[in-house]
């Protein structure tokens, strides 16, 4: 039996996939603790793991995090990424690190499995290996490890057909300039802990981890000829979450009309003009059934629903997605992975955080259409949805990824890595 600490920033899309990892370790008899934000305490305990709270200066509510930061709304691309890295990624690093160290002082830790933006894990890596637990990065976002074959993470650029590596080298140099402030923040905090600058870019810390466990499949990621040897693909994991009741309109999903499911996830879902409203307007007069999930927001916050639309706060995806012809999203990684597990083609709009990277991979892998804007017009949305509905190669590509996901080792790969790291 090993002592495992899972660590995540308190964001729904980061915590939820790690809950499945926690369940797996608990079920095989490991001692499992989960360090994250207070609002996830009940969900952590439901897995059988012990909840460990983040300190107040590293805890936040991702649903309201940027309400008081209007300047962020004006940022795009790498500038938006740099802002988020500084505010969410870098600034809590020292408090996160100290929380991990306190957990280790209270009870020995054999291995830490951290989400990609839990920067406290990077501070652990600068200890000698003999003086720290094993550290693995759990990939709950598109793979962000740097490569000569890919543009810097956050730009949403797939590999170029011509002059790819020279382009990427130029973009990497520009990206380092954009990320100067987050790196300064990181260095200041690292000096307070270790007395030196951190010896690598914070955004590339996973390359120096003992393992990268990507909770996805290689078919959704760009090929990297210089991928680190510590990279392993496990495939997406499924957590045994609370049962979601069927809405009273469920019988309308009777197969007589194609179902278009649209959602903005559970965090970036306050502004329906980004994805939900354009979809409702785009398809209001079409012979389809539009199914909306608000991600927990009250239904009365939605715009008026046309006659061919139905809505619920949450929906049972294992029941809904097999009935779905197209999945429309603002680019949340977890939702896209869930749709692909069922072989559903995708229309992804733009956004911030990792969403440009998700949309770029949707287009690159052939599983759907990408709309590069955060607020597409109904006309553009309708064109994209109908293209995905009418052209079978999108569903064929999605089904190929579904087959790859079904064949992935899943938690068995995570457990194997944990055992190798803790021997």
Helix runs in 107-220, H state only: 120-125, 164-178, 180-194
Q: How many CB atoms lie within 10 A of CB 208?
A: 17
Rounded mean pLDDT, 236-264: 89
Q: Is 298 helix (H, G, I), strand (E, B) or coil?
A: coil
pLDDT reading at 396 higher than 90: yes
Q: What is the model's pLDDT at position 49?
A: 97
Q: What is the model's pLDDT at position 351?
A: 75
Rounded mean pLDDT, 390-396: 97
pLDDT reading at 385 higher than 80: yes
Give the confidence band of 163 by pLDDT, cuts at 50, 70, 90.
Answer: very high
Helix runs in 215-275, H state only: none
Rounded mean pLDDT, 258-279: 87
Q: What is the model's pLDDT at position 69?
A: 67
- 199-235 pLDDT, tens digit each: 999 999 999 999 999 999 999 999 999 999 999 999 9
Give the confidence band of 178 by pLDDT, cuts at 50, 70, 90.
Answer: confident
What's the pTM? 0.92
Q: What is the model's pLDDT at position 352?
A: 73
Q: Please give the distance of CA 226 from its chain centroid, rounded to a whole number.
A: 23
Rounded mean pLDDT, 358-386: 95
Give the confidence band of 30 by pLDDT, cuts at 50, 70, 90.
Answer: very high
pLDDT reading at 338 higher than 80: yes
Q: What is the model's pLDDT at position 353?
A: 75
Q: What is the model's pLDDT at position 149?
A: 98
Q: Is 340 helix (H, G, I), strand (E, B) or coil?
A: helix
Contacts from 358-364 at CB under 8 Å and sequence distance 24+?
358/142, 358/331, 358/332, 358/333, 359/156, 359/331, 360/156, 360/157, 360/158, 361/142, 361/158, 361/220, 361/221, 361/222, 362/331, 362/336, 363/158, 364/158, 364/159, 364/222
Rounded mean pLDDT, 327-332: 93
How far apart, in whole angstroms, are the C-alpha atoms of residue 336 and residue 263? 11
Average pLDDT, the chain: 93
How far apart, in whole angstroms, are the C-alpha atoms of residue 297 and residue 294? 5
Percentage above 90 pLDDT, the chain: 81
Q: Which residues pair with 368 in a beta bridge?
A: 346
CB of 234 within 8 A of CB of 379? Answer: no
- 5-15 pLDDT, tens digit each: 999 999 988 99
CATH 3.40.50.2000 fits 250-406, yes or no: yes
Question: How many helices (DSSP H) and strands (DSSP E) are in the chain?
Answer: 14, 13
Q: How many CB atoms lie within 10 A of CB 83?
A: 20
180 by Cβ neighbours in 10 Å (0-12 / 13-18 / 19+) ranks as exposed
- Per domain, the residue ranges of the chain are 3-236+408-422, 250-406
Percentage above 70 pLDDT, the chain: 96
- 70-102 pLDDT, tens digit each: 677 677 666 777 888 888 889 999 999 999 999
Give the confidence band of 67 by pLDDT, cuts at 50, 70, 90.
Answer: low
Q: Which CATH number fits domain 3-236+408-422: 1.10.760.10, 3.40.50.300, 3.40.50.2000, 3.60.40.10?
A: 3.40.50.2000
Q: What is the model's pLDDT at position 242?
A: 64
Same fold, 3-236+408-422 and 250-406: yes
Name, of 67-71, 136-140, 372-376, the range with top average pLDDT: 136-140
Give the confidence band of 65 by pLDDT, cuts at 50, 70, 90.
Answer: low
β-strand pairing of 50-53 with 309-312: unpaired
**56 to each of 6, 36, 103, 182, 249, how far by Cα in Å?**
18, 11, 16, 21, 42
């Amino acid at each position: 039996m090993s002592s495992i600490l899972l660590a995540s920033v308190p964001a729904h899309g980061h915590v939820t996939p790690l809950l499945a990892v926690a369940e797996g370790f608990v079920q095989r008899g490991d001692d499992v603790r989960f360090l994250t934000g207070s609002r996830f305490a009940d969900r952590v305990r439901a897995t059988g793991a012990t909840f460990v709270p983040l300190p107040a200066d590293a805890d936040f509510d991702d649903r309201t995090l940027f309400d008081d930061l209007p300047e962020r709304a004006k940022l795009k691309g790498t500038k938006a990424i740099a802002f988020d890295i500084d505010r969410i990624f870098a600034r809590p690093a020292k408090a996160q690190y100290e929380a991990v160290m306190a957990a280790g002082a209270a009870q020995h830790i054999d291995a830490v499995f951290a989400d990609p933006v839990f920067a406290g894990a990077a501070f652990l890596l600068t200890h000698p290996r003999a003086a720290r637990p094993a550290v693995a990065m759990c990939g709950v976002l598109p793979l962000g490890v740097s490569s000569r074959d890919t543009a810097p993470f956050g730009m949403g650029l797939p590999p170029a057909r011509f002059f790819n590596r020279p382009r990427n080298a130029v973009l990497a140099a520009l990206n380092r300039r954009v990320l100067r402030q987050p790196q300064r923040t990181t260095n200041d905090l690292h000096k307070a802990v270790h007395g030196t600058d951190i010896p690598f870019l914070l955004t590339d810390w996973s390359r120096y981890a003992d393992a990268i466990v990507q909770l996805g499949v290689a078919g959704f990621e760009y090929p990297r000829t210089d991928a680190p040897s510590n990279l392993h693909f496990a495939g997406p994991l499924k957590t045994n979450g609370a049962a979601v009741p069927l809405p009273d309109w469920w019988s309308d999903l009777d197969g007589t009309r194609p179902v278009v499911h649209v959602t903005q996830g559970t965090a970036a879902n306050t502004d329906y003009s980004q994805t939900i409203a354009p979809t409702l307007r785009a398809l209001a007069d079409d012979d389809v059934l539009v199914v909306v999930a608000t991600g927990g927001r009250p239904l009365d916050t939605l715009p008026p629903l046309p006659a061919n639309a139905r809505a619920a706060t949450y929906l049972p995806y294992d029941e809904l997605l097999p009935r779905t012809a197209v999945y429309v999203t603002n680019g949340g990684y977890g939702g896209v992975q869930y749709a692909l597990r069922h072989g559903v083609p995708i229309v992804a709009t733009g956004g911030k955080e990792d969403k440009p990277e998700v949309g770029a991979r949707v287009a690159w892998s052939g599983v759907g259409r990408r709309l590069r804007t955060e607020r597409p017009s109904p006309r553009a949305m309708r064109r994209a949805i109908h293209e995905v509905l009418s052209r079978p190669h999108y569903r064929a590509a999605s089904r190929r990824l579904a087959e790859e996901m079904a064949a992935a080792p899943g938690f068995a790969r995570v457990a194997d890595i944990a055992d190798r790291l803790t021997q």
